[in-house]
Amino acid sequence: MSGKITKEDIIRLSKLARINLQGEEDKILEDAWRILAYFEELQEVDIHNASKASSATAIINVASEDKINQDLSQKGIGHFAILENGCLKIPGVMHNINKE
């Protein structure tokens, strides 16, 4: 299992996610190996005779229907610094991590 994910992978992913691991790379790597080993174990489970389920729980969606409130929409637009061609413009979030 240890050959599938490396410490360098953990460091690269932490940069992509902008997470400071503060020296926890080794612990996270061990945790990742344990999790992946568990998934490998799950793949060995015979599910051919298991009945299909539409949901893992009996919970149903009780949320109300979405309704557009123009007043709230206009108030929200006021919080954006830039409005360009009728669109809200926000600062970029994707950067090349190799340049950082």
Enter the tokens of residue 96. Answer: 């090349």
Domain ranges of the chain: 1-47
Cα distance between residue 11 and residue 21, in whole Å: 8
Q: Which stretches within 17-91 are classed as H helix? A: 25-43, 70-77
Model-wide pTM > 0.95 = no
Per-residue pLDDT of the chain (100 residues; tens, 9 = 90+): 445 899 999 999 999 999 999 999 999 999 999 999 999 999 998 888 888 776 677 777 778 888 877 776 677 777 777 778 878 787 777 776 666 5
